[in-house]
Amino acid sequence: MHVDLAWSSVRPDLLRQPICHQLLRHWLLSLQPELAPRQQSRAYSLGVTISDDATLAELNLTGRHSHGATDVLAFASGQDGPWLAPGPGEPLELGDIVITWETAERQAGASGWSVAQELVWLLSHGLLHLLGWDHPDDASLAAMLERQILLLEATGQTTIQDRAKVWSLPGNPFANHQST
């Protein structure tokens, strides 16, 4: 599977692009059986931006008409209409994920995670939104959070349910990731 990742970060020290690329590639591969046929592909393109609270507050206001910052926003390519099939040999465009490191830092401190772990958690949440997951009620939120946990566990990452679990397990392909 190929993933074309447009990456931008105001804090590259918190989470590095190669780690995000590997995680997204693994997650998209593992999600294939669950995706609608129009979303299944051998190549994807998406953007990930690690930004600040002010930027997320502005995007939240213009994109969702909500005031204040949120931790992650996802702008799916197919959210305002049908998914467009890519041309031959072209990747399927998923959209963009924007995460605020400042809110991630606060949430990490409150939950006992590192900032990098919180950013990965939010990245998985944003990816599921790009693929059509939503949480308008408690039941759908619980299902989405459970799917995030499975994504993180599949790549050897810690989960909210098991904070004592080691972040980088021996033999984990993502073990060279250093959390802060």
Q: Establish if 132 belongs to a structural domain.
A: yes
User: Phi and psi at residue 92, in whole multiples of 5°?
Assistant: -80, 120
pLDDT at 165: 46
Do the domain assignments include residue 160? Answer: no
CB atoms within 10 A of CB 146: 11
Q: Per-residue pLDDT tens for 32-75?
A: 999 998 899 999 999 999 999 999 999 999 988 999 889 999 99
The per-residue pLDDT for range 140-152, each reduced to its tens digit, is: 988 998 898 889 8
Contact yes or no for 113/163 (Cβ under 8 A): yes
Look up the domain containing 107 and give its range.
Answer: 2-154
How many structural domains are present in the chain?
1
Please count the other Cβ atoms lying within 10 Å of the Cβ belonging to residue 123. Answer: 25
175 lies in some domain: no
Distance from C-alpha of 117 to C-alpha of 102, rounded to nearest angstrom: 13
Sheet containing 92-100: order of strands: 2-9, 43-51, 92-100, 72-76
Please check the confidence at residue 138 and state whether its pLDDT lies above 60: yes
pLDDT band for position 88 (cuts 50, 70, 90): confident
Residue, of 115 and 162, whose pLDDT is higher: 115
Cα 158 to Cα 153: distance, rounded to the nearest angstrom: 7
What residues contact 36, with CB distance under 8 A and at least 6 apart?
A: 132
On whether residue 178 sits in a domain, the answer given is: no
130 located within any domain: yes
Query: 72 vs 87, which has greater pLDDT?
Result: 72
| Residue pLDDT, tens place only, 104-130 | 999 988 877 788 888 999 999 999 999
Compute the Cα dihedral for 17, 153, 75, 130 and give only its sign.
positive
pLDDT of 83 reads 64
Q: Is residue 72 part of a domain?
A: yes
161 is a domain residue: no
CATH number reported for the structural domain that contains residue 99 in this entry: 3.40.390.30
**57 part of a folded domain:** yes
